[in-house]
Amino acid sequence: MEKITSFTIDHLRLLPGVYVSRKDMVGDRVVTTFDIRMTRPNFEPVINTAELHAIEHLGATFLRNHKEWGENILYFGPMGCRTGFYLLLNGDYESKDIVSLLKEMFTFIKDFEGEVPGACAKDCGNYLDINLPMAKYIAKRYLNDVLVNITNDRLVYPN
């Protein structure tokens, strides 16, 4: 069996950043999948499920309600390895195209106060596994350490 594309990326050289993971044709439209890499794989601890879950709820809510981007958001959810998220957009985009959107989203998450949207038994299958304070910490760290002054080596996968 052939390796899928995401398993051909050298995870030992991969830094936190924003990467185009793949582009797929769906009918006559391009769907761009982004790798929102928040921790350095195999060097840093992974993100615990409770904060990953909180970021997912807040990020998905923010993105789908965004005035400019909302109609092109197809999916936002965690990677199985728990080092980041996938964001699927309807359209042909590059990493640099979404940096300002991600800055807005992670600012929203780091500053969020109140009840996490969808964090109740009626709306979520695992509503007790949400950690807002740690989600805010991780969002702030990613925003400040990666997104604020992002460099090209954090926008293109390493060779």
- Specify if 63 maps to a domain: yes
Amino acid sitting at position 107? T
What pLDDT, on the 0 to 100 scale, is given for residue 159? Answer: 75
Nearest-angstrom CA–CA distance, 12 and 26: 32
- Return the beta strands (E) in 3-59 as ranges: 17-26, 29-37
Tell me if 33 is assigned to some domain.
yes
Collapsing DSSP to helix, strand or coil, 45 comes out as: coil
- Residue 77's pLDDT is 97
Which range marks the domain in which residue 57 is found?
10-143
Per the structure block, which two tokens stand in for 91? 């359209």
pLDDT score recorded for residue 7:
84
Q: Does 3 fall in a domain?
A: no
Whether residue 116 lies inside any domain: the answer is yes
* CATH classification at residue 40: 3.30.1360.80
Would you say residue 5 has pLDDT above 90?
A: no
Report pTM. Answer: 0.95
State yes or no: 66 annotated in a binding site.
no
Beta carbons of 103 and 41 less than 8 angstroms apart: no
- Whole-number Å distance between alpha carbons of 135 and 21: 24
**Reduced to 3 DSSP states, what percent helix, strand and coil does the chain have, rounded to the nearest 5?**
35, 20, 45
Which pLDDT band holds residue 145 (cuts at 50, 70, 90)? very high
- Within a domain: residue 158? no
Write the burial class of residue 68 (CB in 10 Å: 0-12 exposed, 13-18 middle, 19+ buried): exposed
pLDDT of residue 8: 79
Is residue 55 within 8 Å of 107, Cβ to Cβ?
no
Domain count, the chain: 1
Rounded CA gap, 63 and 89, in Å? 10
Does 148 reside within a domain? no
Name the DSSP class of 121.
T
The C-alpha atoms of residue 50 and residue 52 are separated, in whole angstroms, by 5
57 is in an annotated binding site: yes
Res 108: pLDDT = 98
Q: Is 11 annotated as a binding-site member?
A: no
The pLDDT of residue 75 is: 98
Asked whether residue 140 carries a pLDDT value surpassing 90, the answer given is yes
User: Is 102 domain-assigned?
Assistant: yes
pLDDT in tens, 84-110: 999 999 999 999 999 999 999 999 999
Mean pLDDT (the chain) is 96
Residue 125 CA, distance from chain mean position: 21
The reply to whether 155 falls in a domain is: no
Q: How confident is the model at residue 78 (pLDDT cuts 50, 70, 90)?
A: very high
